[in-house]
């Protein structure tokens, strides 16, 4: 019996080695878990960024189609629809309640965008170019511009790498009526 217990006893040399290995394992775990946490939070941020951009694109397209389809270019109807949408913006896109939304109803006349009615006083250059390309003189259109500022989950870690905030934008220009 004594002999069998002697097999399980550790010599001083082996005992010190095991203690050292436990410390190394703790340090390795701390380093690996920190790196895995950073990778996981980065993956979550990338997934959120893709989802936000997709939702913004859908939101602008649906708002533009709704105004264009329901009002057929009538300025008073479009203004009322814009106010209704802006008032219910939190219900329409609950995940993106802090959207800055610009909506415009406009006409194309003499190869220019004119009579802009809504929350935008002018169309940005790329939206203006898109509207001129898709519309003929006399057509009426609707433009929607949505901007959302996203903050990453772990701001302290993101600030170190320069990713503190990101502005997402989505634009949609739709033909509302053709004479």
pLDDT tens for each residue of 45-56? 778 888 888 999
Distance of alpha carbon 52 from alpha carbon 168, whole angstroms: 8
Residue 94 within a domain: yes
Residue 112 within a domain: yes
Residue 25 within a domain: no
Residue 60 within a domain: yes
Residue 130 within a domain: yes
Residue 75 within a domain: yes
Find the helix or strand (DSSP H, E) in which 149 lies: strand 140-150
Distance of alpha carbon 83 from alpha carbon 150, whole angstroms: 25
Give me the number of domains the chain comprises. 1
Domain membership of residue 162 as a residue range: 47-177
Looking at the DSSP bridge assignments, the partners of residue 163 are none
Q: What is the pTM of this model?
A: 0.73
- Residues found in the chain: 179
Q: Count other C-beta atoms under 10 Å from residue 88's C-beta.
A: 10
Residue 42 within a domain: no
**pLDDT tens digit at each of 179 positions of the chain:** 555 555 555 555 555 545 556 567 778 888 898 888 878 877 887 788 888 889 999 999 999 998 888 888 787 888 888 888 888 887 887 777 788 889 999 999 998 998 888 888 889 999 999 999 999 999 999 999 999 888 777 665 555 665 667 788 999 999 988 88
Residue 37 within a domain: no
Cα 20 to Cα 11, 15, 16, 26, 49: the distances in Å are: 14, 9, 6, 10, 44
Non-local (6+) Cβ contacts of 57 within 8 A are 170, 172
Summarize pLDDT for 85-95 with one digit per residue, the tens. Answer: 888 887 887 77
Residues 49 and 150: beta-carbon distance below 8 Å: yes
């Amino acid at each position: 019996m004594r002999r069998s217990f002697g097999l399980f006893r550790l010599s001083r040399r082996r005992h010190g080695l095991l203690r050292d290995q436990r410390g190394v394992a703790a340090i390795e775990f701390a380093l690996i878990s920190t790196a895995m946490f950073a990778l996981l939070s980065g993956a979550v941020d990338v997934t959120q960024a893709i989802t936000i951009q997709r939702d913004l694109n859908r939101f602008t397209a649906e708002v533009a189609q709704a105004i264009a389809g329901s009002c057929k270019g009538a300025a008073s109807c479009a203004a009322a629809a814009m106010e209704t949408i802006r008032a219910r913006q939190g219900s329409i896109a609950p995940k993106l309640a802090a959207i800055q939304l610009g909506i415009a109803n406009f006409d194309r006349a003499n190869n220019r965008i004119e009579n802009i009615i809504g929350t935008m006083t002018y169309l940005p250059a790329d939206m203006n170019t898109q509207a001129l390309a898709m519309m003929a003189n006399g057509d009426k259109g609707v433009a929607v511009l949505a901007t959302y500022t996203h903050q990453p989950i772990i701001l302290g870690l993101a600030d170190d790498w320069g990713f503190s905030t990101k502005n997402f934008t989505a634009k949609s220009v739709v033909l509302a009526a053709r004479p």
